[in-house]
Structure 1
Amino acid sequence: MKFENYTIKDIAKALNLSTSTISRALRDSYEISPETKKIVLEYAEKINYRANPIARSLKERRSHSIGIIVSEIANNFFSQVINGVESIAYDKNFQIIISQTHESSERERLNVEYLTSRSIDGLLIALSSETEDISYLHKLKERGFPIVFFDRIPQQFDTHKVIVNNQQGAYDATQHLIKLGKKRVAHLTNSKSLSITKDRLEGYKKALMANHIDFDPNLIKYCQYGGLHLDEIEKSIEELILVGFDAIFISGDKLTTGYLHVVKKRNIEDLKHVAIAGFTNSNVVELFSANITVIRQPAFEMGKIATELLIKLIESTYPITDFETRILPTQLIKSN
């Protein structure tokens, strides 16, 4: 049986009132008396009336929905960002539609095309590890479509962006390992193309320089898919064992948990005494190793701020040309 929602016309017929009176009463208009509003609202609640979002979007030329694109929802960091997005979006009467790229630039583009075809009002996006060409996003913006980037951002794109202080977080993590007396600090990181990879590598290098330790490119291992596939982490670990290292700074949530998983699974004796510092928002990493120092990102706050900035773009009655990049601090949580 086809589901049919009650309409304003149904309420008007039942209460013997005009549709315009019902509409104004539901909007809490000052033109309608408190007594009439009470009657209308009580009846609407009784029949579980819900406004038709399609009719509303046609009238207002807005869908009251926001798209968000991340690499993987199962990633602890991104799931917490999404929670932050929801906390603001639903309070402002926006629905969110979530898409995953699994680090594929092609899937990212297809997701954007699908979401915009569904008439979303704006887009929140963290770029995939494969993404290099964002010309299609530039074209969307040129047509006035609101876009806000978070975490993984492009450099040449005039819009709001929300990130953490990646360079400082990486510096703090590497500095902590060096203070433990470590001299061969390896760095396991994401795709070379990502903004977070570049910024965290720079922080790592600055910490080495501050402690008069020569930079060794053989200690840097890039994982194109950010640990989405365990085999790329295993390969990196095997290569690092050959060159030798006594500590490792890991540059991403999935990479950190993946590294700990591989070490535990392989039970490699040489790695049991390696000091670890890694970016992760997972609460279970201590189950793998009590000796990990965590760099935690304010993911929930990032989602909130990105959504607030996007809604401002959506609701602005004039073109916005003054954009900002919000930089949030990271937190270093030392191992016991």
Structure 2
Amino acid sequence: MKSPGITIKDIAKVLGISPSTVSRALKDHPDISQSTKDQVNKLAVEMNYRPNPIALSLRSKKSNVIGVVIPQIVHYFFSSVISGIEKVANEYGYSVIISQSSESYVKEVEVCQTFLHSIIDGLLISVSKETDHYDHIKLLDEEGIPIVFFDRIIEGFDSDYVVIDDYNGAYQATEHLIVEGRRRIIHFSGPPNRLISKKRLAGYLDAHRNNGVVIDESLIIQCDEFHKAIESTQQLIDERVKFDAIFTVNDFTAAGVIKILRENNISIPGDVSVVGFGNDHIAEMLEPTLTTVSQPGFAMGEKAMKMLMDRINLAAPPEYKKEVLKTQLIVRNSSRKRS
């Protein structure tokens, strides 16, 4: 007698493996061992598992539509990524549906569920800074929807991705400050659960070590937004913390730093140098203009979309592609050499 409603999750539970592993085993994915494939297929027969015919029918039809999930479109970096994505999508005859998570895990889950129940041929995603659980993305993967991550990836999730060389970018920014004579360099860091934050912090720390500068961990402060930077910078000044430079995780945070330093009549870069990350348009609008790390957003969008097209068209190799794009330090007036 047929067991009602047997799903991939039921098979996974019995075998003590993830649903995504079951899904890939059933699809004869090369990343899954033969013994696991044999176990999964044997149990699927025993449990009388049958794929959802409606879902299969929907997935077998191409819509020529790609879903894109980004944290925030307001940032120049992400708008540049979108431009790169759309350029390649147009070349392949694809349309793009863009949704913002607004840095919210809950909103990201809602967006992914919407894409799951619509007809998209693939997904490009950069996860929110709140995201710690990834079941909503695994569900898309289990449905056979190709996924490519860009900028912010999920550690341990097997997929193609394109990222920035965050480590080297942060290293260059910090070493630049050290070469300019700065020794008390504050780092306004990003969320500790995000790999980009970890990489930038690692670059900051290694630049200190490799240049013989003592690391003061009290100068590492989690702060990644304009308004938080206003509060944190003023607090540092009020508490008379000694510092001669601030390296921020993004340019909007640096803008908050510059605002408060100027309001307190602290000379930039005479007393304190400021370096951001991202080379947002705001970097050249600030006074003084902001030294920052340029990241190739447009190229990231192009490469991520091309990877996804290769997956959709079965032109990609079985192993996942992992591409790291170079950054460039752009020196401006906020960190010029002391006279």
Fold equivalence (TM over 0.5): yes
1:159-308 alignment, distance < 5 Å: 159-223=159-223, 226-227=224-225, 230-241=226-237, 242=239, 243-263=241-261, 267-270=263-266, 272=268, 273-290=271-288, 292-308=290-306
Q: If the length of structure 1 is used for normalisation, what is the TM-score?
A: 0.76
Letter in 2 for 1:247: A
Letter in 2 for 1:63: S
Q: Which residue of 2 aligns with 1:25?
A: none
1:325 maps to which of 315, 322, 325: 322
Contact 2:283 2:291 in 1 (8 A): no
C-alpha distance in structure 2 between counterparts of 1:73 and 1:271, whole Å:
33
C-alpha distance in structure 2 between counterparts of 1:179 and 1:145, whole Å:
48
C-alpha distance in structure 2 between counterparts of 1:270 and 1:262, whole Å:
9
Q: Which residue of 2 aligns with 1:120?
A: 120
C-alpha distance in structure 1 between counterparts of 2:116 and 2:85, whole Å:
18
Contact 2:81 2:299 in 1 (8 A): yes
Measure how far apart 1:258 and its partner are.
4.0
Contact 2:230 2:259 in 1 (8 A): no
Q: Which residue of 1 aligns with 2:313?
A: 315
C-alpha distance in structure 2 between counterparts of 1:74 and 1:297, whole Å:
16
Measure how far apart 1:121 and its partner are.
1.0
Please state whether the residue corresponding to 1:204 is helix, strand or coil: helix
Q: Which residue of 1 aligns with 2:148?
A: 148
Q: If the length of structure 2 is used for normalisation, what is the TM-score?
A: 0.75
Contact 1:169 1:295 in 2 (8 A): yes
C-alpha distance in structure 2 between counterparts of 1:143 and 1:320, whole Å:
20
- How many pairs does the alignment contain? 273
C-alpha distance in structure 2 between counterparts of 1:170 and 1:122, whole Å:
32
Structure (1 or 2) with the larger CA radius of gyration: 1
Measure how far apart 1:154 and its partner are.
1.2
Deviates more, 1:70-79 or 1:237-246: 237-246
Q: Describe the shift of the 1:94–1:199 C-alpha distance in structure 2 as closer, same or farther (beyond 3 A).
A: same
Please state whether the residue corresponding to 1:66 is helix, strand or coil: strand
Identical-pair percentage: 36
Measure how far apart 1:268 and its partner are.
1.8
Measure how far apart 1:238 and its partner are.
2.5
Q: Which residue of 2 aligns with 1:67?
A: 67
- Structure 1: gaps spanning 5 or more residues: 1-56
Measure how far apart 1:263 and its partner are.
4.5
Please state whether the residue corresponding to 1:132 is helix, strand or coil: coil
Measure how far apart 1:190 and its partner are.
1.5
Q: Describe the shift of the 1:122–1:270 C-alpha distance in structure 2 as closer, same or farther (beyond 3 A).
A: same
User: Considering only aligned residues, what root-mean-square deviation do their CA atoms show, in Å?
Assistant: 2.1
Letter in 2 for 1:124: L
C-alpha distance in structure 1 between counterparts of 2:113 and 2:96, whole Å:
16
Deviations 1:277-312 (A, max 9, x none): 111232332321335312000100000000000111
Q: Describe the shift of the 1:61–1:157 C-alpha distance in structure 2 as closer, same or farther (beyond 3 A).
A: same
Letter in 2 for 1:77: F
- Structure 2: gaps spanning 5 or more residues: 1-56, 334-339
Deviations 1:103-124 (A, max 9, x none): 1001011011112222111111
Letter in 2 for 1:103: E
Please state whether the residue corresponding to 1:248 is helix, strand or coil: strand
Measure how far apart 1:320 and its partner are.
5.7
Letter in 2 for 1:289: E
